[in-house]
Structure formats: structure tokens, C-alpha cells
Amino acid sequence: MTRSYVFVENLRYMLYPYSPDQAIYFGYNFKMIGAHNKNESYMSGGSGYVLSREALRIFAEGLNDSTKCRQEDNSAEDVEMGRCLLNLDVKAGDSRDSKLRNRFYPLLPFDMLLSGNSGLDFWLYKYAYYSVRSCMDCLSEYPVAFHYVNPEQLYVFDFFNYDFQLVGKQKPEERLPQKIRPEDLVIPDYDNMFT
């Protein structure tokens, strides 16, 4: 069984600019395969997704509307959640940081830093909404979640998150991002050229 590790403090930091009254949700954006509009996406269930208070309210009220949300339990949960939220007019937010690096990851950090998944036929390249990059500078300094974390790795993540100290490294000055008004919210078009 695989699990995900969530850095709750980084999640709070990522969500800070958004009002809980905006109908929006976040995670690792995947393209909705076979969608009518190229900008339709859903969030990977693996690394998790988070709904604003308003998005959760809309989802709870619209969940039983069979014209908008599938009632059968025979499909991928994350895809159906994305379709349902799309049909309920909840925005799929951009979870990337200011340098356009993802903060939710459907793989482990090693797989995102130095990908051994060579070849463009790897599933991540097909489904990623935003262009996938694997490099030493491709991970956000404030990651929110990683998927495929086994039980032993949970302890390692916890150690590096809460106990590890690096001698001589200065802590960055903490600055909260600007609040985003609903009328200023812009969700970029997808940029993954591999379809």
C-alpha cells in the first residue's frame, strides 16, 4: 500500500492568498483525456487535492445531481471528482509556486529530481496538465505532498521536515504572498505539448 506525505505548513502557505469563499480546488493538475475543452483538468488523487470551503459546500450540495456528478462507483475517483467539480463550476486551481514548479507531486522526490522514467511514453508525460520537468531545480522549495511514499519513508520525510537541521544555512525571510481577489484569479492554460 502506498501513501502520501503532506507538509501541512506548506499547504497553509500555498492556500494563504485565496479566500475560502472562492469555489476552487488544488492538487497536481492532470489533463482530462477526451475532454471537450483543452483546458479541462482534474487533480491527481495520489498526491491528494484540497477544496476551499465554498468548493466543498458546492460539492456537497451538487453531489446527488446525476446530471453533474456520476452516481455509480465504477471509475477513477480523481477523474470523476474532477468532472463533478467542473460541472459544478468549481475552478481547478494552479498549485504551482511563483517559479512554476509543482507543489503536489504524484511521485517521490527522487523521481521528480532525477527521473529514471525515460521516454515520452511514461504515463506522467501524457496526463500532466503543465509541462513535466525533472531536474535539480524543478522541485518547489515549499512542496505540499508526495505520492508513493511507503511506511518507512514516512519516518524519513517526518525527520527531514521536523528534526533535520543544516548548520550554517540561513533560514529564508518568511513573507506571505499577496491575497488574491476572486476577480483577479487567473488559471493558466495547459502548456504540456505531449498529448
Q: What is the DSSP annotation of 134-151?
A: -STT-S-SS--EEEEE-H
Tell me which H or E stretch contains 50.
strand 49-51
Cell matching residue 137? 531545480
Q: Evaluate whether 87 touches 53 at the Cβ level (below 8 Å).
A: no
Q: What's the mean pLDDT in 155-179?
A: 84
For 22, the grid coordinates are 472562492
d(CA 38, CA 112): 25
Look at residue 17 and tell me if it is in a domain: yes
User: Is residue 115 pLDDT above 70, yes or no?
Assistant: no
138 assigned to some structural domain: yes
What are the pLDDT digits (tens) for 79-107? 999 999 999 999 999 999 999 999 999 98
User: Would residue 97 count as lying in a domain?
Assistant: yes
- Quote the CA–CA distance of 89 and 149 in Å, as a whole number: 32
List alpha helices for the chain, DSSP H.
8-15, 53-62, 77-87, 109-113, 123-127, 151-162
Structurally, how many domains does the chain consist of?
A: 1
Are 89 and 130 contacting, i.e. CB atoms less than 8 angstroms apart?
A: no
In a domain, 191, yes or no: no
Whether residue 143 has pLDDT greater than 90: yes
Considering the domain boundaries, does residue 93 fall inside one?
yes
- Distance, in Å, from the CA atom of 59 to the CA atom of 52, rounded to the nearest integer, reads 10
Comparing 99-113, 139-153, 164-178, the range with the smallest average pLDDT is: 164-178
In the chain, % of residues over pLDDT 90: 52
- The DSSP letter of residue 53 is H
What mean pLDDT, rounded, does the chain reach? 87
Distance in angstroms (rounded) separating the CA atoms of residues 138 and 105: 11
Dihedral sign, Cα of residue 17, residue 30, residue 114, residue 150: positive
| Entry pTM | 0.85
193 in any annotated domain:
no
Beta strands 3-6 and 145-149 are antiparallel
Quote the domain boundaries for residue 134: 3-184
Biggest alpha carbon distance in the chain?
58
- Is 57 contained in some domain? yes
Structural domain includes residue 192: no
| pLDDT grade for 178, boundaries at 50, 70 and 90 | confident
Query: Is the pLDDT higher at 144 or at 34?
Result: 144
What is the residue whose three cell numbers read 460539492? 59
Looking at residue 19, what is its pLDDT?
94
